[in-house]
């Protein structure tokens, strides 16, 4: 979270995802004074009034949302002074979902003004939108509460989101065993919607999605586990798969009106991108350890490929798995001459390494990559975008199981032993060194190195090639 003074008698405090971070101690507690929204939807009534009108004039097409404004009001009430401790991003996301907004996250600002604030709110929005780069915001929430610090009159909360979907009302709680229809419409440029669920037990599953005209429909089984079910909506853009919505559903109870969690840890000791990469690897392995999984070994070659993708995103101003210049993960691994049996990729953009990892673990699809059993190594590549108070980390996590390095001479010796054993069994003299045999072993092991065959498969392939040439063992 950022603090800064802009213009005379106008104070802006901004949160874009975390900014401070180190191992947390005391818990941050948030308590809402009214019940949570009974459902999530983007079909929201617009906010009216002079400030909303000023925003619409300055930002044509930007929706001034009633639900986002409810979240903004709660946020403003929490920060009674400019020096008040701000909640971590997970707390801000709790406020967002408590207000009935289905967005995965939001950019937020607190603004102090001495007047009615329409002009200052518009200026604050311009600064907030400027931090989003090419990502065009589509909806905003604005609310004010009386300021308690002289000489300010009002304390404003502002929430800003980019929505590329429409969601019809979906309940924020339900009865165990119930199945609830979800209706979603993607914006142009997005396709192939997918729904991924994270059960209270940590189990991840995918729900099939059907088309009904321009809308997509899925039946969401709440299951019998009581607790929080996370619903993630994923779609494919030109830059690859992206999370378009993420929200919790309380199974067997009412949506929460309180949240507690660790404060943003102090990351001031993270001076360089290399420091950030080492911390991220530790956090990944700590998450795996919590679920009884072995740690992943850091792989410098994989990290270099990940770092180049983060650098490419930072330089070219996009955020996605498919680079407009370097292509997707398969192409990047091939160009890096990295042969593997398995690969997976997560990307993130945040002010805090701790909270970036926390957000990835809350997303079912990203969590599945972190907790996958297939990979044995990890490569984390992080690049700093901006500097000082405006520094943001661009993060790529790569997970892989590299192909074993195949030694052709080792397989020559193995085949030679098999041939000698077969000769003894047949009562004949063992064959001498044979150029044909060497050529077969060499060609098969080269092909196996490219495809990732196991040792047993390589031996079977060699035997098959030898049989074709009349050599049987």
Mean pLDDT check: name the lowest of 6-15, 46-55, 373-382.
6-15
pLDDT tens profile 426-446: 676 666 666 776 677 667 766
Structure confidence at residue 55 as a pLDDT band (50, 70, 90): very high
- Please determine, looking at this structure, whether the domain spanning 167-256 carries the CATH number 2.60.40.10: yes
- For residue 171, pLDDT over 70 is answered with yes
pLDDT of residue 312: 94
Tokens (6 digits) for 53: 């009108």
Average pLDDT over residues 393-404: 92
46 and 52 Cβ atoms separated by less than 8 Å: yes
The percentage of residues in the chain with a pLDDT greater than 70, rounded to a whole number, is 82
244 and 363 Cβ atoms separated by less than 8 Å: no
Structure confidence at residue 106 as a pLDDT band (50, 70, 90): confident
pLDDT of residue 450: 57
pLDDT of residue 189: 92
- Domain coordinates in residue numbering, the chain: 31-163, 167-256, 269-402, 408-469
- For residue 424, pLDDT over 70 is answered with yes
CA distances from 297 to 28, 55, 177, 235, 304 (A): 33, 50, 41, 31, 14
pLDDT tens profile 220-232: 999 999 999 999 9
Mean pLDDT check: name the lowest of 6-15, 40-49, 91-100, 168-177.
6-15
- For residue 186, pLDDT over 80 is answered with yes
The percentage of residues in the chain with a pLDDT greater than 90, rounded to a whole number, is 54
Give yes or no on whether 31-163 and 269-402 have one common fold: yes
Higher-confidence residue: 395 or 105?
395
DSSP at 66: H
pLDDT of residue 408: 63
pLDDT tens profile 243-284: 999 999 999 999 999 999 888 777 888 989 999 999 999 999
Average pLDDT over residues 36-47: 93
Tokens (6 digits) for 339: 């042969």
- For residue 389, pLDDT over 80 is answered with no
- For residue 29, pLDDT over 60 is answered with yes
- For residue 2, pLDDT over 60 is answered with no
Fold of domain 31-163 = Pathogenesis-related Protein p14a (3.40.33)
> What residues form DSSP beta bridges with 185?
166
Residue of 198, 68, 224, 228 lying closest to 138 (CA atoms): 68
- For residue 122, pLDDT over 80 is answered with yes
Structure confidence at residue 472 as a pLDDT band (50, 70, 90): low
Higher-confidence residue: 316 or 133?
316
Average pLDDT value over all residues in the chain: 85
d(CA 463, CA 91): 62
> What residues form DSSP beta bridges with 2?
14
Read out DSSP for 10-32? -EEEEESS----SS--SPEEEE-
Higher-confidence residue: 95 or 391?
95
328 and 322 Cβ atoms separated by less than 8 Å: yes
Mean pLDDT check: name the lowest of 135-139, 398-402, 405-409.
405-409
> What residues form DSSP beta bridges with 194?
234
CA distances from 317 to 239, 313, 385, 397 (A): 12, 6, 10, 19
The model's pTM? 0.76
pLDDT of residue 255: 98
CA distances from 220 to 178, 179, 206, 304 (A): 8, 5, 10, 40
Average pLDDT over residues 12-19: 37
**Helix, strand, coil percentages, rounded to 5, for the chain:** 35, 30, 35
- For residue 62, pLDDT over 80 is answered with yes
Structure confidence at residue 456 as a pLDDT band (50, 70, 90): low
Fold of domain 269-402 = Pathogenesis-related Protein p14a (3.40.33)
């Amino acid at each position: 979270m950022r603090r800064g003074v802009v213009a005379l008698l106008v104070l802006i405090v901004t949160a874009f995802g975390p900014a401070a971070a180190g191992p947390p101690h005391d818990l941050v507690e948030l308590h809402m004074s009214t019940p949570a929204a009974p459902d999530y939807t983007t079909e929201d009534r617009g906010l009216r009034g002079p400030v909303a009108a000023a925003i619409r004039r300055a930002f044509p097409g930007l929706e001034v949302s009633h639900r986002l404004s409810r979240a903004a009001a709660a946020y403003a009430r929490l920060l009674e002074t400019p020096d008040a401790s701000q909640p971590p991003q997970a707390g801000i996301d709790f406020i967002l979902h408590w207000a009935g907004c289905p967005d995965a996250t939001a950019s937020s600002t607190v603004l102090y003004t001495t007047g009615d604030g329409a002009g200052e709110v518009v200026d604050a929005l311009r600064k907030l939108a400027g931090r989003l780069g090419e990502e065009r915001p589509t909806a905003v929430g604005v609310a004010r509460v009386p300021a308690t610090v002289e000489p300010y009159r009002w304390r404003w909360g502002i929430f800003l989101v980019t929505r590329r979907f429409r969601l019809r009302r979906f309940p924020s709680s339900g009865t165990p065993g119930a199945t609830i229809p979800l209706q979603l419409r993607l914006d142009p440029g997005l396709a192939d919607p997918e729904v991924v669920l994270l059960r209270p037990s940590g189990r991840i599953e995918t729900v099939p999605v059907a088309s009904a005209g321009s809308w997509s429909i899925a039946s969401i089984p709440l299951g019998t586990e009581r607790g929080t079910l996370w619903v993630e909506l994923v779609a494919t853009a030109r830059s690859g798969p992206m999370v378009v919505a993420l929200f919790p559903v309380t199974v067997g109870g009412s949506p929460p009106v309180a949240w507690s969690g660790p404060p943003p840890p102090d990351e001031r000791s993270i001076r360089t991108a290399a420091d950030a990469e080492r911390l991220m690897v530790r956090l990944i392995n700590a998450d795996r350890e919590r679920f009884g999984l072995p740690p992943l070994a850091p792989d410098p070659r994989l990290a270099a490929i990940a770092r180049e993708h983060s650098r490419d995103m930072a330089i070219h101003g996009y955020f996605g798995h498919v680079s407009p210049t370097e292509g997707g993960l398969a192409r990047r691994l091939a160009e890096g001459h990295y042969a593997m049996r398995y690969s997976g990729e997560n990307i993130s953009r945040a002010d805090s390494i701790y909270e970036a990892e926390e957000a990835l673990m809350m997303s079912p699809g990203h969590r599945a990559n972190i907790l996958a059993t297939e990979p044995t190594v990890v490569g984390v590549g992080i690049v700093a975008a901006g500097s000082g108070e405006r520094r943001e980390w661009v993060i790529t996590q790569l997970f892989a199981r590299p192909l074993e390095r195949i030694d052709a001479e080792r397989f020559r010796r193995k085949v030679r032993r098999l041939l000698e054993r077969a000769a003894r069994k047949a009562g004949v003299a063992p064959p001498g060194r044979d150029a044909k045999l060497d050529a077969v072993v060499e060609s098969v092991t080269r092909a196996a190195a490219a495809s990732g065959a196991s040792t047993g498969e390589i031996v079977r392939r060699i035997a098959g090639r030898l049989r074709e040439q009349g050599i049987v063992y």
